[in-house]
Amino acid sequence: MPTLLDHPRRVPAWLPIVLAALLIVADQALKAWALANLQENAPAQPFIPGLIDWVLTFNTGAAWSMFSGSAAPLALGRLVIGLGILVYLSVRPQPRLLTVTLSMIAAGAIGNAIDGLRQGKVTDMIHSPLLSSITQALNAGSFPIFNIADCCVVLGTILLVVASFIGDRRKPRI
């Protein structure tokens, strides 16, 4: 019996590029809006009260400001990884779920690479008071401010992990 990752129906070779392009455009558009409409160090502007606020900040590192000050090398690494994933998916079409998941991760990597190469820092603007209350309750400080590219990487990775567990559970044990 096929699993989510082994589903025999493959997607067209152009789909990962189109999906990644749409996600990158959305990411860059929101970043442009944030740069034009928000100010760094300004109070949060509620978008969905209690769930999402707009807060402009910049990151020269990776998640949780790891490797701060390393924007250019991180950007080059992100770009190579994102483009590598898209080339792989174009050359070797994969099942639908895997294609969507890897395209999301590639789009996130490329979206943040664009910022790192163009500005020397990544623009972040989405703050979640709900997530911050959870991390603060765990004595881990406020949840980081993020962007659409970050969402693509995190959600894509979560989907990849969940799909791999579902696939493993359905395979017969020998």
Among residues 27, 53, 115, 124, the one annotated as catalytic is 124
Among residues 27, 53, 115, 150, the one annotated as catalytic is 150
Q: Which two tokens stand for residue 29?
A: 């558009």
Residue 124 appears among annotated catalytic residues: yes
Q: Which long-range contacts (CB under 8 A, 24 or more apart) does 32-37 make?
A: 34/123, 34/125, 35/123
Which residues, in sequence order, are CB contacts of 77 under 8 Å at separation 6+? none
- Dihedral angle at the C-alpha atoms of 35, 40, 44, 46, nearest 10 degrees? 0
Handedness of CA 163, 26, 54, 78 (dihedral sign): positive
What is the C-alpha separation between 4 and 130, in angstroms, rounded? 31
Residues annotated as catalytic are 124, 150
